[in-house]
Structure 1
Amino acid sequence: MEHLFLEILAEEAQRGNKLSNTFKAVSINRVTEAISERFQVQCNVKHVENHLRTVKTKWQIICTIRGENGFGWDDNMKMITCDRATYDVAVMAHKKYEPFLNKSIDHYDEMTFVVGKDMAIGSFAKTFSDNEETEEVRTKVSSSGTSKCKRKNVQ
């Protein structure tokens, strides 16, 4: 169920239907309809909004862990890595870290679109297939030149 939830919201974000940290009502409604139909359950807007808050909480924990010393990132496995000693200390201090350490994070890529903060939205958004090589152009700026500006006194 979470896969469908994140898949639809990731598509909606790429379409520009995510305004800052919130989704347009049409996006939320699309999720409720898809989940209700696919799983034969009664899903409503409140359910989607509550689960979105849960996903945001997970994302905050993931970002917090990734920002701390002693943790690495395996991009192929979408996994936060650490040695046993770091794991033991981290889990002892923060029980909520345990599900995200040395385990592949399900639906990580979709979460980046749905709840990630540093992404372009709307017409500025690009999908993975939109990435193309760009040529870097370097220019030299001479520091030996000076410029002077004359001011006119206006009376």
Structure 2
Amino acid sequence: MEVASSQGLGRTSKRSTHQWTPTEDGVLIDYCIDLVNEGSWGRDNGTFKPGYLQQLEKWMKERIPNCNIRAIPHINSRMRLLNTQYREIAKMISHSASGFCWDDVKKCVTCDDDVWIGWVKSHPATTGLRNKPFPHFDQLAIIFGKDRATREGAESPVDVMENIETKEVAFAATGVASEAFIALNVDEDDNGDDDVSPAQATNSEGSTAAR
């Protein structure tokens, strides 16, 4: 889900910065999934209802001892970053024909150097995302993806890649079949010009005799 625009970041100061740990990321994402599953925190337009940041702060304090993470600016800025990273990775995966692949073991996007250099030039927000592990990508798809109301229907990166490959194979097969059909029709047309039926031959001979 999108971060509600009403929850502003405010001014950035040294006190507002926070170095997130993998544990804190995992807890935050788990609780975001809880918000999605509860349904009462969601809206039809794909945003969480006001107050969700404070709810996440409360849950994280209960889960993590001595947690100093605040709703604003810490959780809000982290949600914005995770949203941006998810969307950029999803965009790359959807362009697998351009040379991008998803490593489901390392949970990261891979591609050749030339592909990456060209992509970053037109997508500067993706800088640093190649080969960077995103172990929570499937969960982020539930939070930020198209299907925000339920786990059902949310595609994993592997599903996306397989669907793209399936479509490419089907398209290629359709092209081959079309070429074969056209070639067959051409052969039949060529043969039709040379073949003469018995009735046509008889009529032709009769016309010659009459002359």
What are structure 2's unaligned runs of at least 5 residues? 1-23, 154-211
2:40 is the counterpart of 1:9: no
> How far, CA to CA, are the matches of 1:46 and 1:4 in structure 2?
17
For these two proteins, the number of residue pairs brought into alignment is 124
Change over 3 Å in CA distance of 1:106–1:99 after alignment to 2? farther
Partner of 1:40: 67
Structure 1 residue 42 displacement after superposition:
5.1
1:1-155 pair list within 5 angstroms:
1-16=24-39, 17-19=41-43, 20-25=45-50, 27-37=52-62, 38=64, 39-41=66-68, 43-68=70-95, 69-91=98-120, 94-116=123-145, 118-121=146-149, 125-126=150-151
Report the structure number with the largest CA radius of gyration.
2
Q: TM-score, normalised by structure 2?
A: 0.49
User: TM-score, structure 1 length as denominator?
Assistant: 0.63
- Distance of aligned partners of 1:85 and 1:96 in 2 relative to their CA distance in 1, 3 Å threshold: same
Unpaired runs of 5+ residues, structure 1, are: 129-155
Q: Which has the higher helix share?
A: 2
Measured against aligned partners, the alpha-carbon deviations of 1:54-100 in whole angstroms (never above 9, x if no partner) come to: 22211221122223322122334332221233233334554432332
Amino acid at match of 2:28: F
C-alpha distance in 1 between matches for 2:107 and 2:30: 17
- Higher RCO (CA 8 Å, separation ≥ 6 residues): 1
Give the percent of matched residue pairs that are identical in Structure 1 and Structure 2.
20
- Partners of 2:147 and 2:105 lie apart in 1 by 20
